[in-house]
């Protein structure tokens, strides 16, 4: 009887206090290989979001298209990718997580080759849409696979590797695109995916199996939610088109943009209502009942603005103000990407010792400081002046991204991680698109405002203007005596100087706006959860 009592007591202690096998202190080789495989797949998709940006002029000239038409090379991919991201968990359950991941890799690689072989713009745009549809599932599926493969207490390491991919990808895209375009031609920005895509397929088949990469589907055998899929495609597709093409068509002055905005405004609430009442939804929005996921997704939207928006604005500044080539612009962004990778590797080893919410708040404050520093750009700003702010931006983004992933998805039950990861990645992607659209509008508007303000102070009655014009005429008379007095040339130089100063002031306004957005987002940190590894870490 005493033996039975003792055994019962021991069993009770085991249940209550978790006695038993020690949790693993490091990842196995197989787990590392699965993380690497998933991360390479995600990297292929992320790089292709931005790799075409620096090659659009060459594509336009080669295929004989207008700038508005060639813009669909970017828009088509982004629109298709956004539509597929939230469907990735449902499709993974329907076909198996590894099967769907491998299918996406094969399809993405094949579509990339088709892009490179495209004989005209129509084929290229259609191939890019296909590439986005198949690549859209790679990012959320890769993160979900890592979460399901890595033990709770080692999630910091797994998400650090994934984070390096997500943060370095947007910066590496223009760098790689510029180099390939200048050295080999624009078609190679697509052909480069072939060897890496096939390698990743082989790795996935070798290291992943159905048990590791999939969960039993609770929706198998149910009716397919065609209505939800149609509503989502209509509403998200319309929203993405408005954000991508609105600036080019003068926003709501264009009837087509107004109609698309109306479709998005009606379709999104209708989609949410339908998915919440559907028994077998294509996108399980019920996961938003988890407070950490809801708050983390909002902050992820803000992070997308900082991640993709600034990566979009800085190259514009480098090319339009500093006169950089595509390759030079890419190399300008490279140190920041390397800083992200180094910071991610270091943070991944020690993140379990800290409350992720504290790291997110510190990272947001440092991002505010970085954007404020970039806002001080002037006529003499060059690569040296941008070097450290871009390094700091790369590091501070990591301080938010890695803890945010853990604080958002870490507290979720394992069966909700896939759906949560899809929604979480969708908000970051939409944040990037929204950020690019808004920052472009603000940049153009503020440039016009500052130019008008500067011209008010440059009237002909201003003696400083006359003195400046006199110096310009004297300079031109010495340099180009054949021009005579050079009055017209002096006025043209003055006009260009005004344009430059207006642009500098507008870029400063853009960076200050990003700083304000991050500052306002900091209170969201209070709604985030603490993943299990942080609660159980020593000292907490």
**153-196: per-residue pLDDT in tens?**
777 777 777 777 776 676 677 777 778 887 888 899 899 899 99
Query: Taking the CB of residue 154, how many other CB atoms lie within 10 A of it?
Result: 19
Backbone angles phi, psi at 216, to 5 degrees: -60, 135
Alpha carbon distance 328, 350 (integer Å): 35
Pairwise pLDDT comparison (189 vs 93), residue with the higher score: 189
pLDDT band at 378 (very low <50, low <70, confident <90, very high): low
Quick one: 61 and 190 in the same domain? yes
Quick one: 203 and 127 in the same domain? yes
Question: Average pLDDT in the 300-316 region?
Answer: 78
Q: Find the CATH number of the domain harbouring 313.
A: 1.20.1250.20
Question: What's the pLDDT at 402?
Answer: 77
Question: Average pLDDT in the 409-436 region?
Answer: 78
- Comparing 149-163, 208-222, 248-262, 468-482, the range with the smallest average pLDDT is 208-222
Quick one: 387 and 529 in the same domain? yes
Question: What's the pLDDT at 17?
Answer: 45
Q: How many structural domains are present in the chain?
A: 3
Question: What's the pLDDT at 95?
Answer: 79
Quick one: 60 and 209 in the same domain? yes
Question: Average pLDDT in the 294-312 region?
Answer: 80
Quick one: 435 and 478 in the same domain? no
**Structural domain contains residue 525:** yes
Whether the model pTM is above 0.85: no
Question: What's the pLDDT at 283?
Answer: 72
Question: Average pLDDT in the 338-363 region?
Answer: 81
Query: Taking the CB of residue 495, how many other CB atoms lie within 10 A of it?
Result: 13
Judged by DSSP in three states, 355 sits in coil
pLDDT reading at 480 higher than 80:
no
Q: What is the pLDDT of residues 214-230, one digit of tens each?
A: 444 444 445 667 787 78
Give me the torsion for CA of 445, 449, 454, 459, rounded to 10°. Answer: 120
Question: What's the pLDDT at 114?
Answer: 94
Domain that includes residue 383, residue range: 286-441+515-540
Quick one: 164 and 47 in the same domain? yes
Judged by DSSP in three states, 24 sits in coil
Q: Contacts from 258-263 at CB under 8 Å and sequence distance 24+?
A: 263/234, 263/235, 263/238
Q: What percent of the chain has pLDDT above 70?
A: 79
Of 156, 182, 215, the residue at which a domain comes to its end is 215
**Structural domain contains residue 6:** no
Question: What's the pLDDT at 68?
Answer: 64
Q: Exposed, middle or buried: residue 471 (CB in 10 Å: 0-12, 13-18, 19+)?
A: exposed
DSSP code of 305? I
Quick one: 434 and 469 in the same domain? no
Quick one: 48 and 110 in the same domain? yes
Quick one: 469 and 519 in the same domain? no
Of 193, 215, 237, the residue at which a domain comes to its end is 215
Average pLDDT, the chain: 76
pLDDT reading at 149 higher than 50:
yes
Pairwise pLDDT comparison (90 vs 450), residue with the higher score: 450
pLDDT band at 3 (very low <50, low <70, confident <90, very high): very low
Quick one: 401 and 426 in the same domain? yes
Distances 337 to 48, 319, 333 between C-alpha atoms, Å: 16, 19, 7
Q: What is the pLDDT of residues 7-40, one digit of tens each?
A: 444 434 444 444 445 556 677 888 888 888 888 8
pLDDT reading at 473 higher than 50:
yes
DSSP code of 412? S
Contact indicator for 450, 498 with CB cutoff of 8 Å: no
Quick one: 469 and 364 in the same domain? no
Question: Average pLDDT in the 259-283 region?
Answer: 81
pLDDT reading at 147 higher than 90:
no
**Structural domain contains residue 172:** yes
- Comparing 59-68, 121-130, 359-368, the range with the smallest average pLDDT is 59-68
**Structural domain contains residue 529:** yes
Quick one: 407 and 535 in the same domain? yes
């Amino acid at each position: 009887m005493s033996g039975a009592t003792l055994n019962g007591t021991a069993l009770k202690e085991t249940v209550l206090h978790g006695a038993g096998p020690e949790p693993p202190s490091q990842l196995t080789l197989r787990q590392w290989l699965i993380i690497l495989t998933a991360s390479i797949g995600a990297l292929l998709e992320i790089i292709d979001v931005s790799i075409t940006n620096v090659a659009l002029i060459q594509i336009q000239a080669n295929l004989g298209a207008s700038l508005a038409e060639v813009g669909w090379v970017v828009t088509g991919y982004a629109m298709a990718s956004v539509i597929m991201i939230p469907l990735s968990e449902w499709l993974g359950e329907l076909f198996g997580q590894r099967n769907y991941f491998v299918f996406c890799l094969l399809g993405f690689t094949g579509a990339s080759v088709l892009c490179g072989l495209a004989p005209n713009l129509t084929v290229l745009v259609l191939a890019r849409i296909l590439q986005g549809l198949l690549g859209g599932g790679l990012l959320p599926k890769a993160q979900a696979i890592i979460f399901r493969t890595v033990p709770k207490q080692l999630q910091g390491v797994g998400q650090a590797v994934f984070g390096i991919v997500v943060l370095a990808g947007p910066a590496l895209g223009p760098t790689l695109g510029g180099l390939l375009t200048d050295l080999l031609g624009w078609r190679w920005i697509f052909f480069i995916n072939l060897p890496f895509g096939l390698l990743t397929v082989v790795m996935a088949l070798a290291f992943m199996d159905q048990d590791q990469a999939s969960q039993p589907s609770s929706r198998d055998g149910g009716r397919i939610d065609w209505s939800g899929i149609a509503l989502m495609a209509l509403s998200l597709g319309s929203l993405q088109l408005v954000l991508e093409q609105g600036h080019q068509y003068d926003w709501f002055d264009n009837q087509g943009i107004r109609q698309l905005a109306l479709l998005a405004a009606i379709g999104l609430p209708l989609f949410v209502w339908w998915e919440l009442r559907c028994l077998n939804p294509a996108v399980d929005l019920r996961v938003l009942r988890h407070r950490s996921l809801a708050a983390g997704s909002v902050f992820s939207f803000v992070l997308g603005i900082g991640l993709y928006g600034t990566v979009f604005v800085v190259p514009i500044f480098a090319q339009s103000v500093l006169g950089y080539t595509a390759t030079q612009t890419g190399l300008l962004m490279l140190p920041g990407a390397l800083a992200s990778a180094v910071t991610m590797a270091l943070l991944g080893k020690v993140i379990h010792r800290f409350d992720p919410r504290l790291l997110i708040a510190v990272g947001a404050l440092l991002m505010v400081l970085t954007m404020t520093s970039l806002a001080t750009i002037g006529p003499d700003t060059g690569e040296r002046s941008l070097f450290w702010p871009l390094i700091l931006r790369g590091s501070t983004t990591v301080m938010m991204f890695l803890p945010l992933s853990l604080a958002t998805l870490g507290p979720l039950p394992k069966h909700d991680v896939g759906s949560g990861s899809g929604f979480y990645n969708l908000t970051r992607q939409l944040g990037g698109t929204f950020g690019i659209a808004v920052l472009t509008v603000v940049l153009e508007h503020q440039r016009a405002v500052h130019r008008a303000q500067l011209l008010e102070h440059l009237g002909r009655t201003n003696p400083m203007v006359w003195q400046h014009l006199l110096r310009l005429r004297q300079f031109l008379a010495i340099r180009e005596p054949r021009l005579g007095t050079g009055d017209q040339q002096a006025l043209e130089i003055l006009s260009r100087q005004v344009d430059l100063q207006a642009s500098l002031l507008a870029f400063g306004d853009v960076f200050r706006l990003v700083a304000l957005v991050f500052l306002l987002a900091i209170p969201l940190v209070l709604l985030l959860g603490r993943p299990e590894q942080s609660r159980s870490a020593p000292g907490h």
